[in-house]
Chain A
């Protein structure tokens, strides 16, 4: 085999989960931890082979709790780190996702969603974790989550997830599903210099956190990674700008909650990506992830039949693209929200749209199956009758 290529530049026919693994390596990830779970296993299977070739480590942990904890530990040790799982694993990780939020730890968490609740149907895709990734850990916080619609985006958005994680010192979700994870399609991996790759800022020096601001900056505090003499104090207990625990000052508690939230919301224009194609349309299909493919096909069918139909695909689902949805609602007559669930983002979309236009939810004919574009069109015709 020989020393592996860091970036497999070229055109490939590749499974989505493998494209995700290659995206991680291209982004400079050198520590991955995970516990086997369908339909995410191929991500770590690939990385277990590839990482040692590029000087990295894959740790198969005793459970998903250890997976996220060791990845957070690796990130504090200065490495770009990733863990990959599916919904049941996310449920186990939730407490420590909150730890990553509270300690402003850059980290990529891949969730290849499967049909639930509970054990459900492991190899069937269903976007059932849309809210749990953003609201599943206790306390108040914001999260960044990106939703790929293709194997190509499994690569591109994994690279982008690392970019955002490092730039803003936050955990970032790649929120895929079994369909896109197992789909095989053309994946173009560009040259390294064409990739936008960012590495976290670290402090210029100092061996006393009381002389530095290590946390709670809305403009992202440099991260005092371990092993370089910074004598960092890291705790997920309520802490001040130096990382020192403070359970008595309400002002510190306010900043401990608000600053990490504002760090994300103040930069929402840089973080949020929405694919919008609805000029002149009166009906707009709003979707994300795999469903975006069906939505696009349905819009084409509808246009061919004279229905002025457009598309809006949320590439970034969290922070929630509220302004973008409002803008759509205020320029069309009817929004149809396509989700492969019983309406997880629908309440959030409705809250931004209902004042300006009609809005309906449309799941697939059978939950867990991909929306049939003909079915979408037929239902739209019924709705507008």
Chain B
């Protein structure tokens, strides 16, 4: 009997046969985008160290990926990844974690990694809610939405993570939704190749928690919502705040070359040691 396997099965640990994600979760689309990017770049899993925090999307690399994986404490994957990158500058570091992990409890590390422009790819899965703990409000929750911890609707403004990371000084900043897997794959490839801090914000559907709270229906309904409400950055630039209300601005926000921390350290060590 012949058994056909997914072409990316070879990138996964043999003994891992299931994931922890709920039915309809966007994690699968993002997992595939990451693995397809690595595959299309012709890289090996041993060229990478994968780091993740705590939350649903932190399960994307761990335990699934057949590579060195570090599953860290909540909010800290970028801080751990910074130490790894400085000591293994020849390796690609990919952080996969959620909006709560990277932009709420770990927000300070996100800001300062972008400021340092240390070479790593951060795939920030933004589902707009705390999924694993049961649907609590996140900094990324749309204002006014009713959640478990905002039963009368959130009073707080919604975090624009890409704008924050761009302002902090990252080399590459991009946002796509799970309705845009090809664009997301292309951006992850650019992010991996980019010598500098690269953020890929992946707006993802959480039908179990967010979908219920926002009354957006099931996974397919949420993907349709992403399709209908996404607007490319080049078009969005000409629109005012009112016209952009409720829209998801997608595309590349930053794509620049600038001095990168691990390379700067290599240069500095050489200079100091040769004097």
Taking a contact as CB atoms closer than 8 A, the residue among B49, B71, B84 that contacts A236 in the complex is B71
State whether B80 touches A237 (Cβ < 8 A): no
Q: Give the nearest-CB partner of B76 in chain A.
A: A69
Question: Which of B29-37, B60-68, B179-187, B223-231 interfaces with chain A?
Answer: B60-68
Q: Give the nearest-CB partner of A95 in chain B.
A: B73
> Does A216 interact with chain B (Cβ within 8 Å)?
no
> Does A2 interact with chain B (Cβ within 8 Å)?
yes
Assembled-state Cα–Cα distance A227/B67 (Å): 9
> Does A365 interact with chain B (Cβ within 8 Å)?
no
> Does B160 interact with chain A (Cβ within 8 Å)?
no
State whether B62 touches A229 (Cβ < 8 A): no
State whether B108 touches A62 (Cβ < 8 A): yes
> Does A133 interact with chain B (Cβ within 8 Å)?
no
Contact partners of B15 in chain A: CB under 8 A: 210, 244
State whether B80 touches A70 (Cβ < 8 A): yes
State whether A235 touches B62 (Cβ < 8 A): yes
Within 8 A of B (CB), among A68-115: 69-79, 81, 95-96, 99
Question: Which of B125-133, B193-201, B267-275 interfaces with chain A?
Answer: B267-275
> Does A208 interact with chain B (Cβ within 8 Å)?
yes
Assembled-state Cα–Cα distance A66/B109 (Å): 7
> Does A185 interact with chain B (Cβ within 8 Å)?
no
Counting chain A residues whose Cβ lies within 8 A of the other chain, the interface size class is: 35 or more
> Quick one: which of B62, B66, B83, B268 has the most chain A CB within 10 A?
B83
Assembled-state Cα–Cα distance A230/B265 (Å): 26
> Quick one: which of B15, B63, B84 has the most chain A CB within 10 A?
B84
Contact partners of A210 in chain B: CB under 8 A: 13-15
Assembled-state Cα–Cα distance A75/B86 (Å): 11
Q: Give the nearest-CB partner of B261 in chain A.
A: A59
State whether A81 touches B69 (Cβ < 8 A): no
Taking the closest CB of chain A, its distance from the CB of B214, in whole angstroms, is 30
State whether A208 touches B83 (Cβ < 8 A): no
State whether A73 touches B80 (Cβ < 8 A): yes
Within 8 A of A (CB), among B83-118: 83-84, 86-88, 91, 108-109, 111-112
> Quick one: which of B46, B76, B80 has the most chain A CB within 10 A?
B80
Taking the closest CB of chain B, its distance from the CB of A222, in whole angstroms, is 15
A72/B80 contact (C-beta < 8 A), A66-B112, A227-B91 known: yes
Assembled-state Cα–Cα distance A39/B112 (Å): 25
**A213-236, CB under 8 A of B: which get 1 and which 0?**
000000000000011011111111
Contact partners of B112 in chain A: CB under 8 A: 61-62, 66
Assembled-state Cα–Cα distance A236/B72 (Å): 7
Contact partners of A65 in chain B: CB under 8 A: 76, 79, 109
A57/B72 contact (C-beta < 8 A), A2-B275, A226-B49, A231-B46 known: no
State whether A31 touches B63 (Cβ < 8 A): no
Taking the closest CB of chain A, its distance from the CB of B99, in whole angstroms, is 19
State whether A73 touches B70 (Cβ < 8 A): yes
A70/B73 contact (C-beta < 8 A), A52-B268, A52-B272 known: no
> Does A324 interact with chain B (Cβ within 8 Å)?
no
> Does B45 interact with chain A (Cβ within 8 Å)?
yes
Q: Give the nearest-CB partner of B74 in chain A.
A: A95
**A344-374, CB under 8 A of B: which get 1 and which 0?**
0000000000000000000000000000000
> Quick one: which of B63, B66, B68, B69 has the most chain A CB within 10 A?
B68
Contact partners of B45 in chain A: CB under 8 A: 231
State whether A59 touches B73 (Cβ < 8 A): no
State whether A77 touches B87 (Cβ < 8 A): yes
Assembled-state Cα–Cα distance A174/B72 (Å): 24
Assembled-state Cα–Cα distance A55/B269 (Å): 6
> Does A3 interact with chain B (Cβ within 8 Å)?
yes
> Does B81 interact with chain A (Cβ within 8 Å)?
yes
> Does A304 interact with chain B (Cβ within 8 Å)?
no
Taking a contact as CB atoms closer than 8 A, the residue among B14, B68, B79, B86 that contacts A31 in the complex is B86
Taking the closest CB of chain A, its distance from the CB of B127, in whole angstroms, is 21
Contact partners of B49 in chain A: CB under 8 A: 77, 226-227
Q: Give the nearest-CB partner of A31 in chain B.
A: B87
> Does A53 interact with chain B (Cβ within 8 Å)?
yes
> Does A290 interact with chain B (Cβ within 8 Å)?
no
State whether A57 touches B87 (Cβ < 8 A): yes
Assembled-state Cα–Cα distance A95/B275 (Å): 41
Contact partners of A73 in chain B: CB under 8 A: 51, 70, 79-84, 87
Taking the closest CB of chain A, its distance from the CB of B203, in whole angstroms, is 27
Contact partners of B67 in chain A: CB under 8 A: 231
**B237-272, CB under 8 A of A: which get 1 and which 0?**
000000000000000000000000000010011001
Q: Give the nearest-CB partner of A244 in chain B.
A: B63
Assembled-state Cα–Cα distance A66/B69 (Å): 19
State whether A33 touches B83 (Cβ < 8 A): yes
State whether A66 touches B82 (Cβ < 8 A): yes
State whether A59 touches B82 (Cβ < 8 A): yes
Assembled-state Cα–Cα distance A226/B111 (Å): 25
Assembled-state Cα–Cα distance A221/B143 (Å): 50
Taking the closest CB of chain A, its distance from the CB of B149, in whole angstroms, is 22
State whether A55 touches B273 (Cβ < 8 A): yes
> Quick one: which of A72, A230, A237 has the most chain B CB within 10 A?
A72
4 extra A-B contacts, CB within 8 A, seeds A1-B272, A78-B88, A236-B73: A226-B49, A231-B46, A234-B70, A237-B71
Residues of B within 8 A of A (CB): 13-15, 45-46, 49, 51, 62-63, 66-73, 76, 79-84, 86-88, 91, 108-109, 111-112, 265, 268-269, 272-275
**26 A–B contacts, CB within 8 A, in A order:** A1-B275, A31-B83, A31-B87, A53-B272, A53-B273, A57-B87, A59-B86, A61-B79, A65-B79, A69-B76, A69-B79, A70-B82, A72-B80, A73-B87, A76-B70, A76-B84, A77-B49, A77-B83, A77-B86, A78-B87, A210-B15, A226-B91, A229-B46, A231-B46, A235-B70, A236-B73
